[in-house]
Structure 1
Amino acid sequence: MITYQIVFEGAIISSATFDKADFTPEVLTCVDQSGTIDRVISATDNDYQSVKQAAIDSNILRKIPKDCYLLPGFTDLHIHAPQWPQAGLALDKPLNEWLNTYTFPLESKFKNLEFAEKVYQNLVAELLANGTTTGLYFGSIHTDANLILAKICGYLGQRAFIGKVVMDNPEQTPDYYRDASSEVALSETEVFIQQMLDLHQQTGADITPVITPRFVPSCTEETLRGLGQLAQQYDLPIQSHCSESLWEDQYAIDHFKLRDAQVLDKYGLLTDKAVMAHGTQLSDTDLTLFEQRQTSLAHCPISNAYFGNSVMRVNEVITKNINVGLGTDISGGFSLSIYRNMQQAIMSSQMLQDSGQKQARLSAANAFYLATIGGADALHINSGQIKVGFKADLQIVQDQYFAVSSNEPQEIFERLVYHTNKENIKQVYVSGKLVHNNLGENNGK
């Protein structure tokens, strides 16, 4: 018999398809020593009781309370890690003013490594407490600060994809916060890649370097070309912004005579390992290109309400076989809760439909899919589902209205999507390891 790391007993909720979330009331979810789900055993299976008893005897059974449910952990596809201290600030300002008056000065402070460690320790702990088991991060331009973020993610147990932000265009970036030249930007990126790979090798932390041009306006052509070559050389993920705003789209047309997506593609930055944030202004031609390149999109609904000039056409994008996940876009989005972003995704889609876009509305099941399967697929990780062979990235969530509301499965599910906050997330696991505990020392089993 396989020796398990932990066995959960209780109800599970897991996305099955874009339109459907499955609710299973009584199962054993068995996690092996590698942190992978080895079996999901129904109460009607012949060996349910024997496996349960063996788990009790080994002191590894985690019984989920009746008012709690086991859900997959979330993947956040767009986090600006150094912007965490300004989350919720100056969101009434135009994007250009917000960047130059608030954001760039803040990011420049991360050359101070003590400051970086303090901020990143708080950020990663808060993300885990909110059920985010995997994060795709923009760092700052500072290699050493980005490595501190990687070490903290490794120490606290979050799976992390991290990029050294590249921005060398003197016309669009401030002199106090930019890469000194294209040569410096590319060499520092390669140093960061190699040090991240070494850190992974030395510590076993689940961390991956990511090629990260901030966006087309912030980079010179030489740098965009070089980043595309580095992505190919090291076979790495890529992240950037694409068609976030009217201004960004127009910049690409004015300076390159191409659409934003076409510029990124020209330099090898649209690949099946790329995740592009926002996409509120993507044209039908752009979407065809994304489908051809199998590039994923990070939908950032809170941020887009402030800076996106529109709402991403999620349903339409999905029908074109383009993968979509969710991003908080800290700090263009004020909340690092994926639950809060699921709620906003649904609300924004309803407003999009009211403005004339047909069949734009998203359901709770749609938003949950984006938060789980969509995000995991974008990063090519076996996560986001409670299913055999998938990583045991899990959260135990309490239904705070269990005693007074309907206990029909669909209504429980929708209630969790709309009402869950940090206090309701009782435990979080990454690859079967407990990384957040809101139950107290004696209540972990």
Structure 2
Amino acid sequence: MDLPLNDWLNQYTFPLENRYKDPDFTARIYPELVDTLIAHGTTTAMYFATIDSAPSEYLAKVCKDKGQRALVGKISMDEKSMCPEYYVESSTEVAISAAETFIQNIREIDNQQNLIHPVVTPRFVPTSTKQLLEGLGKLVQKYQCHVQTHASESDWARDFTQQAFQKTDVELYEETGLLTRKTVLAHSIFLTQSDKNTIKEVGAGIAHCPLSNMYFADAAFPLREALDQGLHVGLGSDLSGGPLPSIFHAALDAVSHSRVREAGTNTHIMDQRGEAHSRVSFVEAFWLATHGGGLTLDLPVGIFKPGYYFDALVIDSNTAGSQVRIYDDLDSAQDALEKIIVHTTEPAISAVWVSGKQIK
């Protein structure tokens, strides 16, 4: 967490992702990853995997075997000037062909349960040629599959797109066919009002990752405004841009993030330090972690309602290992909810269901 985004990718992320070419490394890490997320109560996860198809397909198989609903993306990266030589696809044509084969193979992995979904995944604009984005956009239209990518995450990323294409990320994704109802834009901090209008019109979603934003964005996502404008927003942990796997913790971070925005941080300014009316409540944060996430993914999850998948957790209070303490004579329903968000750790989650099947 010590470097700005571009340096962090080159020094830490790309070398680590490249290690997943080794089947032994993949077999060691991915089952632990999925087990960890299930243990922390994540019933549905959207995964950025790596540029290599075989390990990315293996991740999808692990999720299916363990019963977690998963949207898995093989990353597409072909801009050689922005990628290390050891971690880039050999050509645009190869990248597009690999993405299409990946979609087909993932659908073969889970052709009945509707548990595993392929995701077209251009990492972000700096590592993508315009030809790649256009080719992936055609795949999205052909297969009607999900899309995930980063959008306007930092000053550097925003400025890169503006200088290279004279457009915003959202404008470029819309032009190339990548912005649909099933698109999830990670971060999306530096959106213009026109960008927000486009996202709302299309019905695309935003993954708000408050903790990693603190490290890499150097700015706060205007969550209150996004919700008030009716945008689809869900919560992300952004592993490993964020170090914590719990979406409960992400909900707490979202509340904290909004409070800092509203209060401001400069003690030398006596009045109007922050941005008025920008806080979100614990109830809203919990909504983002559940039904907001379902709306963002365009999946019938995240709420108890006829026609939706039965996904549920049991949180044990007042038992050994649980840090959640609920007192019937002291705590209101909202008190209990806030305690669950703040204090739920792995031992407190005694059971997890996905699509009516108990997986923990």
Normalising TM by the smaller chain, what interval? over 0.9
Residue aligning to 1:160: 70
Partners of 2:163 and 2:13 in 1: CA distance: 25
SS at match of 1:171: helix
- The alignment of Structure 1 onto Structure 2 pairs a total of residues equal to 345
AA at the equivalent of 1:420 = T
Task: Please state how far the C-alpha of 1:116 moved relative to its aligned partner.
Answer: 0.8
Q: Deviations over 1:349-372 (max 9, x none)?
A: 011112332211011001000000
5+ long unaligned stretches in structure 2: 265-273, 318-323
Task: Please state how far the C-alpha of 1:136 moved relative to its aligned partner.
Answer: 0.6
Task: Please state how far the C-alpha of 1:346 moved relative to its aligned partner.
Answer: 0.5
Q: Aligned runs of 1:136-147 on 2, under 5 Å?
A: 136-147=46-57
SS at match of 2:45: strand
Q: Aligned runs of 1:303-314 on 2, under 5 Å?
A: 303-314=212-223
Partners of 1:425 and 1:268 in 2: CA distance: 40
Q: Deviations over 1:99-136 (max 9, x none)?
A: 11111000001111121121110000110011100011
Partners of 1:197 and 1:302 in 2: CA distance: 33
State the identity %: 38
Residue aligning to 1:96: 6
Contact 1:299 1:327 in 2 (8 A): yes
**Would you say 1:122 and 2:70 are equivalent positions?**
no
Residue aligning to 2:19: 109
**Would you say 1:212 and 2:121 are equivalent positions?**
yes
Moved more, 398-407 or 94-103: 398-407
SS at match of 1:391: coil
Q: Aligned runs of 1:358-397 on 2, under 5 Å?
A: 358-397=276-315
Task: Please state how far the C-alpha of 1:403 moved relative to its aligned partner.
Answer: 4.8
Contact 1:154 1:205 in 2 (8 A): no
- Say what the alpha-carbon RMSD is for the aligned residues: 1.3
Task: Please state how far the C-alpha of 1:229 moved relative to its aligned partner.
Answer: 0.5
Task: Please state how far the C-alpha of 1:260 moved relative to its aligned partner.
Answer: 1.6
Task: Please state how far the C-alpha of 1:405 moved relative to its aligned partner.
Answer: 7.6
Residue aligning to 1:194: 104
Residue aligning to 1:183: 93
Q: Please, which of 68, 83, 88 is the counterpart of residue 173 of structure 1?
A: 83
AA at the equivalent of 1:154 = K
AA at the equivalent of 2:350 = K
Residue aligning to 1:268: 177
TM-score, normalized by length of structure 1?
A: 0.76
Partners of 1:141 and 1:397 in 2: CA distance: 37
Contact 1:166 1:214 in 2 (8 A): yes
Task: Please state how far the C-alpha of 1:315 moved relative to its aligned partner.
Answer: 1.5
Partners of 1:405 and 1:239 in 2: CA distance: 46
Q: Aligned runs of 1:429-440 on 2, under 5 Å?
A: 429-436=353-360
AA at the equivalent of 2:98 = E
Q: Please, which of 240, 243, 263 is the counterpart of residue 334 of structure 1?
A: 243
Task: Please state how far the C-alpha of 1:228 moved relative to its aligned partner.
Answer: 0.5
Higher helix share: 2
Q: Deviations over 1:302-341 (max 9, x none)?
A: 1101001211111111122210000110000000100111
Task: Please state how far the C-alpha of 1:427 moved relative to its aligned partner.
Answer: 0.7
Higher strand share: 1
Residue aligning to 2:151: 242
Contact 1:299 1:324 in 2 (8 A): yes
Q: Deviations over 1:272-314 (max 9, x none)?
A: 1100000111121211111122110000001101001211111
Contact 2:199 2:231 in 1 (8 A): yes
Structure 1 residues 172, 325: CA separation in 2 closer, same or farther (over 3 Å shift)?
same
Task: Please state how far the C-alpha of 1:404 moved relative to its aligned partner.
Answer: 9.0
SS at match of 1:429: strand
